[in-house]
Amino acid sequence: MSRFNDSNVTLAKEIIGRFPRPKSAVIPLLHLAQEQDGYVTRDAMSHIAELVNVTTAEVYGTATFYEMFKFEPIGKYCVNVCTNIACQLVGGWELLEHAEEKLGIKAGSTTEDGLFTIEDVECIAACTEAPAIQVNYRYRYKVTAENLDQLIDDLRAGRLADEIPPHGTLARVRQRTTDTWANTGIEAQAKVDAR
């Protein structure tokens, strides 16, 4: 299971077409796989390998370098609490501990109902809004224990479904390959490869 579905195969081919060399599409395709299934399955990695003409081991080798790719199911909502210096100075750790207490799990693990994962993360570029967190990479600024509780209750009740898609979905707008796509880079690359 969990190879790309038909519409994602079409999308994958479009993405591959935007790079001079197919292997460059590995990371975007891993994101696409994670969007489809919530995490990156072995089958998806094999499918990516076929699409870009490398071995599954190469795809796996690339995938495991990057922290955002998960290789087993995680929570529908991934709550990332920043504890790096700017957040630490104004209560990032205390916020992480509060989240752990509220959800009854430690950072790096998932609630039994499969709804929440907590991560203790590095700087997320919101330092002047510390302490900051992300839920599925959507920001919440100047987070207090109270509004973290509220956020978790809202997520559990499905009240933020419009704003925060399930884990795996990043941008909800995709770059389109249009008629004005010149492909000049690709043509020029082909000339170099032919030499």
- 3, 95, 99: which is closest to 56 by C-alpha? 3
Residue whose C-alpha is closest to residue 72's, from 44, 47, 41:
41
Amino acid identity of 133? Answer: I
Cβ closer to other proteins: 110 or 134?
134
Only segment of 3-11, 149-157, 181-189 that touches other proteins (CB under 8 A): 181-189
CA–CA separation, 195 vs 189, rounded Å?
Answer: 10
DSSP for 123-138 reads --S-GGG-S-EEETTE
Residue 147 found at the interface with other proteins (CB under 8 A): no
- 128 scored as a contact of other proteins (CB under 8 A): yes
Our finding on whether 125 is near other proteins (CB under 8 A) is yes
Binding site for other proteins (CB under 8 A): 18-21, 23-28, 30-31, 52, 54, 61-62, 65-69, 80, 83-86, 88-90, 93-94, 96-97, 100, 106-108, 120, 122-130, 134, 136-139, 170-176, 178, 180-186, 188-189, 192
